[in-house]
Structure 1
Amino acid sequence: MDGNQQVLPLAFAVVDEETYPSWKWFLQQLSRHVIRGRRGMCLISDRHVGLIKAVREGPDFVSPHGVHRYCLRHVCSNFNSTIKNVVLKDLCWQAGSEYQLRKFNRIMDEIKKQDVKAFAYLDAINKEKWTVSHDGGWRCGILTTNMSECINGVLKGARRLPVSALVEITLERTVHYFHVRAMKGQKMLQNNQLWTDFACKMFISWQQKAVEHTVTKYSHAQQSASVVTRRQGRHGMNTHVVKIANRECSCGKWNQFGIPCSHAQKVCGAYNISAASMVKDYYDVMAYNNTYSKHFEPVQSEDYWDDPNFQLVHDPTIRTVTRSWSKSNNTHS
């Protein structure tokens, strides 16, 4: 994902089918050409048995190098296939997408009250893998592989073509993605934005909400405080704990998105700290612009495809890798 919460195409593979050997090979190539020893990577995928096995045997998505997370949509789908209850499926989604631990526990209690077997099914899955509340901020707020499957949708028609044509179309459409987003990056620079559109929108939205909060300072050393939100309809009047020195808020959103939530922004104001300085650097417009400023060389004939001088560009701004899936004979990853 790039700093504007969009899929950044890094690597494609054409394989016969989704199996353990094909996933192992793909992850080995990803490690060699893209990750290259860099730590802090998060892989989000479904729970394909062959993929999970391949991930466990590789170093890049296993602690302490990185992590592997499950697509929440697939977890809910598998859950519903077993439990066959739409109401419980909705609760499963709510539990997995909830940022606050207390709310997650409340939803799980409700699931247990309605169906003990349903609760046991979810409780058996490692909570770090499928819930935002236990994630530790690795997902960057990304719950599913939906966005990567948009790329899958764009390339859907190419799968029935011969491999050489498939590769050519994949490259052409990837180049188009880079061109369009490079233009977008230039527009952001011309508008003198500090951050990408995604980060600006989120920061301003939370900034407006912060006006309605009330702060009580606690520790100047940790720059901590409690924040009470104003009641709006049935919502509000909740208390959150913010620790600026630790870059955390009990609401969980600051940790996930790397952008100070409304509670954190209110506390920053109380301690005369610039909340804008707390925004993660991967949202910086210059970082986004540099990501898409790389140029592509026109592809020559197939005789040159194995050129030993060819090297992939190492981009330090990448935060999260998602993988798309297909039941087609040719699978894009």
Structure 2
Amino acid sequence: MVFTTEDRLVRVVNGRWARTSDCGWLFIANERNAAKKLRIREGNGYSRNKQIVVDGFGLSSGDGDVCLTFQWPEWMDVDSAAWKKTCPVTITNDEAMDIYFAMVAEKKELPLLYISQLSVDDSVDAKAIEILEAKGKNVMEEDDWQHFVQEDAHEVLAGMQIDHAECEGDELFVGRVFKTKRDCQVKLSVYAFSQDRSIKKLTALTCMFNSCTWRVYIVKLEGSESYQITSGNLRHTCSVKDRRRFNKQAKEKFMRRIIQSGNAGGLQKLLLDDHKRKVCYWKAWSSQEVANDQGAMGSSSDDSFASLPSYLWLLRQANPGSVMDLKTEADACGLSRFKSLFFAFAASLKGFRCMRRVIVLDGAHLRGRFPGCLLTASCQDPNFENYPLAFAVANEEDDDSWDWFLRKLNTVIPDSADLVFVSKWQSSIYTSIRQVYPKASHGVCVVHLHRHVCSVFNSRHLADLVVKAARAFRVDDFHAAFAEIGRIEPECASYLEEIGFNHWTRSHFMGNRFNIMTSNVAECVNAAFKEARELPIVSLLGSIQRTMTTWFAMRLEATKAEPSCFPPKVRELIHQSLETSEGFTARRIDAFEYEVKGDSKRSFYVHLRQKKCTCRAYNLLGIPCSHAMCAAMAEGFAIHELLDL
């Protein structure tokens, strides 16, 4: 409410205080019950004059208290800009009221006197009112005054209706969307040094330095858990030196919210570069350890192991048919201690019946409080996407762990002659496969072989020739590449012969490893759980279960939306073969048998019924090569009948 003098009458205007974007003060009049002329005398004192105002506007005790305020007049400060930024003075006693009336004797005029049902500390933000009014919100209603009491900006952010937007990056800009309330709390606790008084429907945050114009306005997106910066001024008018006065050491709780992976040195750099917060190395290390140990579910590693049996029981109930085996051993006190865990979900085992029988093995270290390793068995689905089969958590990646893991895997995937294993070059895996799966074939990952040759013989060109020989479909192509290896480095050729061609080459392999020449399938699965491998064991299992559920659900939806009967990546290979075969010629030899000639002088013989070609790519991959596509076009053979998936 605003007071001006006309003889002995004072004009009283009802309203509220607001902060402007340039850190000044603005009094906003209420549109209803806005102004009255009241008689206010100096001799009445503070309490009597205040009661006159309350009675004059018909306010009752239930409407809450009113505050009498005034600003020092402009003539008291030469700089008008500074005057506008002067905080209003609140009249709370007779002495303050006397000071107000004493200014009449100096300038023969009474400065504006303001009365509001909210104190200066509870003032609203003028920009916030403008934003809400632009959205069609009538924020000037008296009935809405109770909404103008500022609440904790980091605890309560009320929603308002604006268009939904996707979450974007980590930078702070107008339109920036925070995925969750926690994300909003962390980011704004870093960038917004102080929170300004605002309205419940919109929160304003300002720089800690009072004269700085930096501020942002945040709202909650309707119908979601996201928050958005709807407006703001992101340029500081204060100096870096001024802002440094308010720099504080980052707290462990704050650091745990920001990051749950990495190392202490990296966390120090992240806090300093991105968030302008200093932290000593040991505080960073302590926060890292606590954050990782608590995990996604908020339980420590000790509690996680204690609750593991109950969690496995719940997993079995939620996934009937899943296989889980927890192995423990008694310590010196007779207490059961975790030793290893095997688990395979029913959905994965059921789906393996429709997959090519090539299993890729790999292991990865667990980097939590209790060290260990995660052993994985994976394969590829018909669309060449990673398909996890089974997992095991063991103390270390040694002979006993791999032997135990494969014996448990043997209970759900029995040994057979058509089963193939692919893994890195490791004696523990080779020994365990020979003992547990004697009928199955085993091939080495050519990427690991390439690295080994590079390391031992110090020749990248030689290693590339080894990969070329390993990937060759035809035996004569292999011998041509291997002869070049023997010419360049005879010791390397002897080493490869000792390994056995049937272990590392496609042309001599006893089974059929199809397109899987590396252990990349299992390594990609382990990489997907890189962050989860730092968490307690229950959190690790939860992350694996959620990730696999998401993968399978997404693939199911993609399959339903696929118009073709071929998997998308298989269809791409068929199109490539079809384009390559455009310049080929096919001559029929017998029923479903053709001689195909391409750009080279070499002829290839294709048998469509037997799904074979002398290039051997069709034989080993099960997907028609360019020669088979040419013969099929000449025969009028249906393409879907050519596939051997």
1:1-333 matches, cutoff 5 A: 1-33=380-412, 35-36=413-414, 40-59=418-437, 62-63=438-439, 66-135=440-509, 138-188=512-562, 191=563, 193-220=564-591, 223-230=592-599, 236-280=600-644, 282=645
Partner amino acid, structure 2, of 1:195? F
Partner amino acid, structure 1, of 2:604? H
Partner amino acid, structure 2, of 1:214? T
Deviation sequence 1:248-287 (CA, Å, 0-9, x none):
112121122211111112223333433421212x4xxxxx
Instruction: Give the distance between the partners of 1:26 and 1:147, measured in 2 at CA.
Output: 18
- Structure 1 residue 100 displacement after superposition: 2.4
- Structure 1 residue 40 displacement after superposition: 2.3
Instruction: Give the distance between the partners of 1:271 and 1:136, measured in 2 at CA.
Output: 32
Higher Rg: 2
DSSP 3-state at the match of 2:531 = helix
* Residue segments in structure 1 that go unaligned for 5+ positions in a row: 231-235, 283-333
Partner amino acid, structure 1, of 2:576? S
Contact persistence 1:137–1:255 (CA under 8 A): no
Contact persistence 2:608–2:642 (CA under 8 A): no
Contact persistence 1:215–1:228 (CA under 8 A): yes
Instruction: Give the distance between the partners of 2:510 and 2:566, measured in 1 at CA.
Output: 23
TM-score by length of 2: 0.40
- Structure 1 residue 229 displacement after superposition: 0.7
**Superposition RMSD in Å:** 1.9
- Give the structure with the higher percent strand: 2
DSSP 3-state at the match of 1:14 = strand
CA gap 1:136/1:251 in 2 versus in 1, 3 angstroms: farther
Instruction: Give the distance between the partners of 1:126 and 1:225, measured in 2 at CA.
Output: 35
Q: How many residues are aligned here? A: 266
Structure number with greater CO (CA < 8 Å, separation at least 6) is 1
- Structure 1 residue 160 displacement after superposition: 2.2
CA gap 1:187/1:136 in 2 versus in 1, 3 angstroms: farther
TM-score by length of 1: 0.75
- Structure 1 residue 218 displacement after superposition: 2.8
CA gap 1:136/1:6 in 2 versus in 1, 3 angstroms: farther
Partner amino acid, structure 2, of 1:56? R
- Structure 1 residue 36 displacement after superposition: 4.0
Contact persistence 2:402–2:432 (CA under 8 A): yes
Instruction: Give the distance between the partners of 1:89 and 1:105, measured in 2 at CA.
Output: 16
- Give the structure with the higher percent helix: 1
Instruction: Give the distance between the partners of 1:186 and 1:69, measured in 2 at CA.
Output: 35
**% identity of equivalent residues:** 25
DSSP 3-state at the match of 1:225 = strand
Deviation sequence 1:111-166 (CA, Å, 0-9, x none):
11111111111222222221122236611211111132111111111222221221
Deviation sequence 1:29-87 (CA, Å, 0-9, x none):
11113x1466622211012111110000113xx33xx3211111111222222222111
Q: Which residue of 1 aligns with 2:246?
A: none
Partner amino acid, structure 2, of 1:239? S
* Residue segments in structure 2 that go unaligned for 5+ positions in a row: 1-379
Instruction: Give the distance between the partners of 2:567 and 2:397, measured in 1 at CA.
Output: 36
CA gap 1:54/1:170 in 2 versus in 1, 3 angstroms: same
CA gap 1:121/1:38 in 2 versus in 1, 3 angstroms: closer
- Structure 1 residue 94 displacement after superposition: 1.1
